[in-house]
Amino acid sequence: MDLGISGKKGIVCAASKGLGKGCAMSLARDGVDLVINSRTEETLEATAEEIRSATGVAVTAVACDITTEEGRVKVLAACPDPDILVNNAGGPPPGDFREWGRDEWIAAIDANMLTAIFMIKATVDGMIERKFGRIVNITSAAVRSPIEELGLSNGARAGLTGFVAGTSRKTVRHNVTINNILPGPFATDRLLGNIRHRAEAAGIDFEEMKEQRAAQNPAGRFGTAEEFGDACAYLCSDQASFITGQNLVLDGGSFPGTL
């Protein structure tokens, strides 16, 4: 299927690894020229080169912390008028809410709520003027089905979800859509780190817990970054212009509800 976005310009935040990288690779395969970002320059450059050589699109790597104003200015300077924006950042650490003070909460809200909102604010009016825009926020299945030790994530991402629910209804008549993708378990460094944390806390072998977790999913496995990226690319397609304000759960069927 031709997604109709070849030649468009896209920003993918937090994209040197994992789900962000999956989105960048899928968009690149559909011909989108990219600005990608993450903090560690070496890994980011390696990913940029991997995408360039696999797809032939232009990829600019901007190494910075996207959760800071300075970082966002750098990324936006490299691509001031994107057609596509994928918001992503590292997730907050797990823990017990009794251990978190104001600093921990502000860091989570900055990373997983305000960063996406400020990136949308900086780009959405240009998209509206040009009559094309696709914005996808990577959130978490925990927005729908909270995970107890990820309270910082549950809270901050719910805030972003509420913002998107309102704003996305204002932009769609200009062919600018805003949607969230809610990952369940995808086999990335982040997921494996969370499993390690749980295994250590429970005194269980990491590999054993990993296999148990994968087997518990209705699909009998974790998702892949490639699957995630392809879903993102579809939401960024020309054809997806009637889809806005949605929360697409990609979890292999873990959430047990009918709707």
Question: What residues make contact with ligand NAP under the rule CB under 6 A?
Answer: 14-20, 37-40, 43, 65-67, 88-91, 138, 140-141, 183, 185-186, 188-191
**What are the beta bridge partners of residue 57?**
none
CB of 11 to ligand NAP, least distance (A): 12
Q: Which is nearer to ligand NAP, 43 or 247 (CB)?
A: 43
Q: Which is nearer to ligand NAP, 26 or 171 (CB)?
A: 26
Which of 11, 219, 42, 37 has the alpha carbon at shortest distance from 119?
A: 11
Q: Which residues of 95-114 are buried (b: 16+ CB within 10 A; e: fewer)?
A: eeeeebeeebbebbbbbbbb
Q: Which is nearer to ligand NAP, 15 or 76 (CB)?
A: 15
Provide the residue count of the chain. 259
Residue with tokens 């749980």: 198
CA distances from 113 to 60, 68, 225 (A): 25, 12, 22
Q: 9 and 79 in contact (C-beta within 8 Å)?
A: yes
Which of 146, 162, 159 has the alpha carbon at shortest distance from 97?
A: 146
Q: Which is nearer to ligand NAP, 175 or 217 (CB)?
A: 217
CB of 19 to ligand NAP, least distance (A): 4
User: In the structure encoding, which two tokens stand for residue 246, read together?
Assistant: 């949605």
Q: Which is nearer to ligand NAP, 132 or 252 (CB)?
A: 252
CB of 228 to ligand NAP, least distance (A): 8
Residue 10 CB-density burial (10 A; 0-12 exposed, 13-18 middle, 19+ buried): buried
Q: Which is nearer to ligand NAP, 37 or 180 (CB)?
A: 37
CB of 214 to ligand NAP, least distance (A): 11
CB of 83 to ligand NAP, least distance (A): 21
Q: 28 and 57 in contact (C-beta within 8 Å)?
A: yes
CB of 134 to ligand NAP, least distance (A): 19
